[in-house]
Amino acid sequence: MLHTSSLIHLYTHFPLQNQIFPPCSFVCCTLDEEIEQKDLQSNVLPDGAEVSLEDIEHCYDMGRVVGDGNFAVVRECRVRGLAETFAMKIVDNAKLQGRGNMIQNEIALLHSLEHPRLIQLFRSHHTDTHVYLLMELVAGGDLFDAITQSGRFTEPSAACMIRDISQALEYIHSKSIAHRDIKPENLLVQRHGNGSLNLKLADFGLAMVVTEPVFTVCGTPTYVAPEILAETGYGVGVDVWAMGVILFVLLGGFPPFRSPDRNQEELFRLIQKGEVHFLSPYWDNVSEGAKAVVRALLEVSPKRRLTASQTLQHGWLQHAIAQKDHKGAIKATDSMAERRNQQKLSGQVESAENKSDSHKPETLAEKYHAAQTYKNILNYDSDINACDRDQQIQEIHNMTSNQQNASHAEDTTTMNKQYTTDQHKPEKPAQQEDTDTKQE
């Protein structure tokens, strides 16, 4: 069993999914084709080229900063001569601190993948000091934002999201690639003019080709699969487990495995035990078919767990998609429901009747502000130094503790991400960094 002492440090990275972009047109042909059509070859940098800052400025028109992180900044960007707006992720090599292989891994994998449910990388360049990634622009934020805004979703809406995730996983799993960090923050929301939406999978920094059992401990605690914690070797099935956690959150509004006091070892024990409880009243109106899919995705044994392909063929998924109502989030229909929602948002909701406080779930929407503060802090906001960050983290810990928000604190926890060239042998347990920072 994996203990907290096995975690070496909290790994943070810039999440592309947090960008808020204006809408852009669908790129109906490849970037190379459009460049050729407009005879811009002489003005465009070749993919993968080592270039100078002057070359970058000559080729690209950089717009406003739309997000930044501990080692990257993202700007709106246009290729000079083209109308489409892209996202340019600019990575500062000096801030990578030994994680340069993560960027190269992401570039290599994204260049080898092409699917409508995956974020697209068009170009990569590097200078002596920075790496530039020209990427697809997605306007709708991420699934985490959608969950915090809506709380819970109808079965048809949740089914459509799970379909999109399953399609992305089916594609990468067919190429023996495991993403290893499936979570709402890594699922971008693409909104369409008719009000519908699709999800796109992003952030392939931890993805890898799996040809043998992998033992590297990585992921995000709320979504980590039991076989990762058991350190017995794992494969692409860990992504399906994480999808099951997401489905539970979409339908119920809170994670399936929660430690009341934010004890990570207790959370890991619950995950490995794998007992899923559908608490009343949160699950009273959810169909047995939906619950059956949740159980099948959250099957502790990877051999008995559904695959992405099997999920797509499941009767509940197909029926729910056929009944999609396009309305999305559940809305209260009477004054009692309205009052209960207001109580939830103020942190005053009572647990289900005859349930102890130790089993009380909290909706992800309840502490959205605190979660966003954590995400900003753990992305190493340039305006926050280490001492201030530690102080703010402790203050938020105290606040969420007083307001009984332990469940959401777990959900935004980020696990250490270890990198190794030898993926086929158990990692030597590392020492945990002395920090209270356990949320993203």
Active site amino acids: 181
With CA atoms as reference, report the closest residue to 258 among 270, 241, 240. Answer: 270
223-262 exposure pattern, b = at least 16 Cβ within 10 A, e = fewer: bbbbbbbebeebbbbbbbbbbbbbbbbbbbbbbbbbbeeb
Q: What's the CA gap between 198 and 159, in Å, rounded?
A: 11
Q: What's the CA gap between 259 and 413, in Å, rounded?
A: 12
Facing residues of 318 across strands?
none
CA 315 to chain centre: 26
Report in angstroms the alpha-carbon separations of 192 from 18, 26, 147, 188, 195: 18, 11, 18, 13, 6
Q: Tell me if the bond preceding 226 is cis, omega within 30° of 0.
A: no
With CA atoms as reference, report the closest residue to 89 among 70, 76, 104, 106. Answer: 76
CA 135 to chain centre: 17
User: Would you say 175 is a known binding-site residue?
Assistant: no
With CA atoms as reference, report the closest residue to 22 among 83, 81, 110. Answer: 83
Facing residues of 208 across strands?
178
DSSP 296-361: HHT-SSTTTSPPHHHHHH-HHHHHHHHT--S--B----SHHHHHHHHHHHTT-PPPSTT--GGG--
Q: What's the CA gap between 49 and 141, in Å, rounded?
A: 30
Q: What's the CA gap between 347 and 51, in Å, rounded?
A: 52
Contact 307, 240 (CB under 8 A): yes
- Binding-site residues for ATP, please? 89
- Binding-site residues, please? 89
